[in-house]
Amino acid sequence: QSALTQPASVSGSLGQSITISCTGTSSDIGSYNFVSWYQHHPGKAPKLIIYDVSNRPSGVSNRFSGSKSGNTASLTISGLQAEDEADYYCSSFTTRSTVVFGGGTKVTVL
């Protein structure tokens, strides 16, 4: 199974909105609404911020939102804050009943 495709880096200014794309295939993102997003600060455990394309776990800021169209999922961070600077990973359930991750996107807050 090939990794999902994410941009290596995305940057934005404080208060702005940014969107991270995650492109897969008809065998993963295109087949199910089972896309998750994780925020990862280096040296810490990854944190689930979106599951099932657009659902936020309890306690996750509503500045994080997710969507999907065809084989591509997206994560939008609105009102960018300094603490949002981190690596972000998407993942998807697949038709082989496995999980595949994206390569990760480094978000820089300018």
| Interacting residues with other proteins (CB under 8 A) | 1, 3, 32, 34, 36, 38, 44-48, 50-52, 57, 89, 91, 93, 96-104
Which is nearer to other proteins, 8 or 82 (by Cβ)? 8
Which is nearer to other proteins, 14 or 99 (by Cβ)? 99
| Residue 47: CB minimum distance to other proteins, A | 8
CB-based contact 106:9 (threshold 8 Å): yes
DSSP string, 28-47: TTTT-S-EEEEEE-TTS--E
Cβ partners under 8 Å of residue 105, min gap 6: 6, 7, 8, 9, 10, 20, 87, 88, 89
| Residue 4: CB minimum distance to other proteins, A | 9
| Residue 25: CB minimum distance to other proteins, A | 15
